[in-house]
Structure 1
């Protein structure tokens, strides 16, 4: 998982930028929904710590096929 760093003027630490970077690094033919669900599970324990993490988790949840809160 990539660290969220907010000191980049280009926005590289924003949840959307991290999400796009993650998408671009996925191997060809991978099941993106399945991989996104794994990221949701990794981020679940940190979402109450930082609103950016909660936003990133929501992006992965959307790709995984669920916009509802996932545990």
Structure 2
């Protein structure tokens, strides 16, 4: 496995970095579609408050097979 370290710590909070980190921490054999749906539920109440969270929800929605969320 390739591990990278962000040289700029503020970059580690980007939606894409959070999503990739989440993916890497999923156990082998996990149903990623189901797990992504769980994350969508957790993030649902925050979607309109922050564009980064909206982007993160969009990434999870794509993985869950829900396409883009508005």
**TMscore range, shorter length:** 0.7 to 0.9
Q: Identify the range of structure 1 (15-24 vs 60-69) with the bigger mean alpha-carbon deviation.
A: 60-69
Gaps of at least 5 residues in structure 2 are: 1-7
Asked whether 1:30 is paired with 2:26, we answer no
Bigger Rg over Cα: 2
TM-score by length of 2: 0.83
- Which position in structure 1 is the counterpart of 2:9? 8
Give the Cα separation in 2 of the matches to 1:35 and 1:27.
Answer: 11
3-state SS, counterpart of residue 45 of structure 1: helix
RMSD: 1.6
TM superposition outliers: structure 1 runs of 4+ over 3 Å: none
TM-score by length of 1: 0.82
Q: How much does 1:69 deviate?
A: 2.7
